[in-house]
Structure 1
Amino acid sequence: MTAVEIPRQRRARRARYRLRVAAVAACLTLMCVLAGTVAARVYHGRLLVLLVAGAALGAFAIGFALRNRPSFLAPGASLVGLTAYLLGAIALTADGTEPLPATIVDALVNAVPRTLTALIPVEPAPDTVVVPVFLTWLAATLACEFAIRYGRTLLGCLPPTLLYAAGLYLVGPNADGGTVYALAYCVLAAAALAVTAAPPERRPDGDAVVDGPAPSKAPALMGAVVTTCVLLAAVALLGPAAARLVTADPGDPREYVEPPQLTDIDLNPLVRIAAWSKYPDQELFEADTSGDSWMRLAVLTEYDGTTWQAAGDFRTAGTVIPGSGDADFSADVEIIGLGGKLVPAAADPATITGLPIAVNLASRCLLTPDGLATGSTYHVESALVAVDPAGAETARPNLADGSTVAVPPGTPEIMATIAEYVIATYDTPFERAQGLADFLAQHYAYNPEAPSGHDLPALGFFLGNPADAGGQRGTSEHFAAAYAIIARLVGLPSRVVVGFEVPGGSSTVTAGQGSAWPEIDFAGVGWVRFDPMPAPDAVPTPPEDTLEQMEEETPTPEEDEGGGGEAEDFNDEALEQDGDFDEELAEEAGGVPLWAWYALGALLLACVPLVLKARRALRRRRRLTRGGPADRVARAWAEVLAAAARAGVRVPGHANAEEAAARLASLEADIGPLPRLVNAAAFAPGAVTEEDARAAAAVAGEYPKRVRHQVKRWKRFLT
């Protein structure tokens, strides 16, 4: 080898190595991007995709640039880059309501639990992007070190693979299978392994010196063969188990993380009504709304006889609340003295900014994990729920959710009595719902000093005790809770809502505007609000007067059957009549005599054979006169086969015309040229003429008459 060829060979080997290393680095970088993108499928928008892609590119750029430097430089530089990138991601996703240092600390401390409890689709926020960005950067750094610095490409594929698995676990059953992601990932991994980088001692780039001939390819080829055999054996052994795992439903990690918890006053928000009623001038919050609205605080559907509670858990959400329509209502709220964690908002909230939010998807209510404090502000936009009153008047109750009609044991007797009154007085579900509200409003009074309590004994005291003993007086807590339970006894699905009546424009909402009200669920309409509260200064009618009057007017079962009151004298001669008593009653009632019904039934039975015969004749005529020549030939053949079947000779559907003709020969009835015409209609329909169709119709018309004597008599008579 000449002195000129040696440097040329060195340059070629160096170029091949650099191309191989660049290809491996590109494949592993894209693998890290894909692995991070797997988790981004449950995030809102494309921001997280861009963040994890930037993290993978940044980490690999640092590692690749320092691949030939001392090994301690790359981790330090990567850590600095990760810190700067995380701070940039937090600043990019922050809403600016809190100082940046406080936002950074909160995001780092609460990143893991909030990522796992975030409501899907997850809103990219400081505390929900930290984990995927950090893991993507870490996976890219380790992959670069293993594959590029130390030349172990297979080991370098492990970090992005673990990141891919973590993304699948985070997604759980909340997205599609991601087949395209899996295929692209496998292709990139195969490409990286195919152009595996050389070990460090064989590197011809940088300051490395290339001496002697190129290394033999035989050991590398042998290693590739052995590796392929090992992979095939692993696939054969682990394939069935992997297939079972693929077809199984993945678990959701959100099930194992405790959701945001409510305070005592939020667990049972109905108890706040009593305090609001006693101090109606207490300022709770300021609101600037785009229109009049009922801003809900809590929706309560489950009742155990003691307390009303909300169903479902709260899940952390971002600024966008999933499942809402287009927002047509907005409110800017500043908290003064409300307290607790529940956040007032009109139904249904669509977006909210200014507070960290968790959402109860069952009730669509909002909660802030840190609690409301004086001075807290937020902006909420809602898609107001529109109810069709006309549709509700004719709708049926929606009984799909059993928890909305469940009644605990031990309900007071007065509730059952009121329910019976409502059922006896009103007919439709909507009338009963409105009638129950009217009954409570007309027979009970509002008293802001009434003690709090909505358990069954307290509600029984409110409904059943006389006014001079402290009963029949209560707050909206008592009216709403009693209404909801009695509605369920009537068969109406109900729930209790706690909230505020807020006028449009800018106003200060006081405790006097807080109340509870019941709602009824109608199929196809939704939840409809009803107002059982009495009018101001209304004088209630004692409920016992109305209920006792109903008992007096309602006949007993004995009276309905004629056995109540004084017994009739069945020995009275006036009751003795000659003749058949039932017949005279029928004649007096002007009814049809019984013999006429029997005669009509016999006439209808006699007409059945005539109807069947007429139907068969009309079908034959329709078959033989409509359509083209080929179609009429085929239908004539169908008529012949039907007539033969009535005579007891059935031709299987797979038989051709010649086989069918052989079977029909047993009936000793000529079918003429019909088999030939049938074959022509099937294989050369254009060759069938009108004359052929008329000939086939003539055969089909005469054939039933020729085989009639072989049809059983009862069949001839009936059909």
Structure 2
Amino acid sequence: MSSGERRPVRRGDLTLAIGCLLALLVTVLPLLRVVTPGPWLGGTVVLMTALLATGYIARRLRLPAVAVSLAEAALWLVFMSAVFLGSVSLLGFIPTVSSVQAVPVFIEAAMDAIYHGVAPMEATEPLAFLIMGATGLLTIAVDHVVITARMPLLAAIALVMVSLIPAIAVPVEPDILAFVLLAACILFLVRAETQSRDPSPARGGESAPAAVPLAGVTATAVGIGAVAVVVALVVTPTLPQPVLRAGSNPFGTGVGLDASLELGDDLRRPREIEIMRIHSSAPSPPYLRATTLSDFDGEVWNPDISRSIPLDSPSEFGDVSVAEGIRVDEYVTTVEVENLSSTWLPVSYPAVTVTGLVGQWAAVPWNRTVVARAGSSQGETYQVTTHVPRPTLEQIRAAEAVWPGLPNDTTSLPDGVPAIVGQLARQVTADAFTDYDKLAALQAWFRGTDFRYSLSAPVDAGFDGSGAEAIAQFLEVREGYCIHFASAFAMMARELGMPSRIVVGFLPGSSTTEVIDGETVHSITTSRTHSWPEVYFEGIGWVAFEPTNSLGSPTAFSSATSDPLAGIPGVTASAQASASATPTAGERPQDLGQDQTGSASGPLTASGEGWPPAAVALVIAALLTLPAVAREIRRRGRLAQAAEGDAGAAWALVQDTAIDLGIPVPPAETPRALGERLVARYGAPPEVMGQLVNAIERAAYAPSRAQYWEGDVLPGAAIAVRAALMAQVPVSRRALAVIAPRSLIVRPGTAYAAARPSRA
């Protein structure tokens, strides 16, 4: 039938329309995990219902298929114009040129909210416009494909893809309930569409046969659904989750790393994703760096651009040079990248060799980092050897934070830096005499009670950046996260005449129960993305500090009279001689499940964690009993129908029992022929089988069923036949018939019922 011809009214249109509405509602359900519920939800439901109702009415009026879709499209335009563009629409609901021009503005604002938003996002008007508009168009498409074209499986593909969008955009645990409901809706559509094409009269009519063959559609649909469930619950969680991030492979898999100090989106991920696993010979797991930022133009800190040489060249990094008398310790750290796609390789500092990499990599001697010439860090496993200077407290106090050979990028500040930066730097360090003591005082001040770690405050107050003006606001509000603490510290160091830079990388991971070569394996997740400042000391090198409040370990050095181990972030000396470095280190607030005000901060399930084994076993056991429970419920229902004189229900019980036991029930076999075969070959009692056969034949062919009412004998006869058939098969087949009854998905008279399964 061409799209312009008047279409006949077909059976099942109302059922299919209801099925489409249910499937669309379930498809939208995952959105509630990433967008705060609000008026958009009610509007979406109203729009989908109105569109499907319009389509149903248009078909009842026998309009051509193209007219049905046009009527739905017109309703969609009017609805969207009235709800969102009424001020620029004719009469408040008729689209105009101005309303059309406003659409790109809405879409751009919505996409910007999605890219920069944090789940669960607030449903702003542009975001609601995008959601409702898209679901409306999806409704029109599904209505046409399912009801007009009668291709529900094709529509199912679109529904599944749309339902997966929230999980792809915001990696979270699978929404099992939404998936199961969507699978049920899709199977319902398949079943309803098949029934609408079946020409047989309804069951229970005067001339209705005992069973209506449906060519195995139910079995096929449920089989497809079962495979989909297995794939979704077993295979999908093992796949890497695609995430689009700046500074990484934009079309590959794995989490990216933004090296421009715009780490807020990485830190605000609603679910932690494990990206690396490391183990090290160091006293405690080291910080890992990706790159450094020295050039500050007042607005942004720019990654260092420096000479690189092939990683396998003899002079890749060069030796670590320190003043005489300063101890240097060697450590080896093994890194296994599991879900990080970045051109910068995470390495411990200061690296002297990196081995085990695959592909083309280059070393950057200036900051001892590694960058890819081709490819990314995804899937790499490598070893980093570091030579770590360990000055004593006396040695670092004697050293000056200066190096005449350093480029101006590490010491200069642009014009127009707010005065508060320099004023506070001098105020906080007024009582310190050495360069190290001044920096230790700054570190202690940031880590003290005046400041608070917060991922949300910079966004709410509008200074979520690392520019000079943003840092000035941070110093007033005194709430922020690592980029604000690191930027403020680096700028204050430069105000005091000391060379500084910022490092982008990762905090030490959390320990696991796994041990390799006597070294505990640590897991690094997305929430460990971090930035910290470094200051250069003559004769020692770049020394890292940890000013971020409530995070990591502060830098501290021990006196030569105590433990000579010197601290860098992640390595705390056993005795701290400087009171300025004593603030208690702690976990990142969101790692503990609360921010510092005590409010919940979102899902805490670490990658690889899940339900307890006992709970999993109980769930599996419950799922395994579902087929038996469903079969028993249906058996009892049919017995009740048989007790009311329904011979078809009693005969269906016999057919179901045969199918459960693997006895063929072919479509061409009459009830009498099947009954005789069950008596002769499978031990069914002849007398009660004869009662059932006579009853089903009278129900199908007698002019009046009322005079042959047999409700008092039919249930008992069906039970007796079932018991006799069960007694003739092996125990294994009997148990399988109870635990996994085939009759739930295989209908009598279908090709599936005619074939005998392999015996257990």
TM-score, with normalisation over the residues of structure 1?
A: 0.35
The answer to which structure has the higher helix fraction is 1
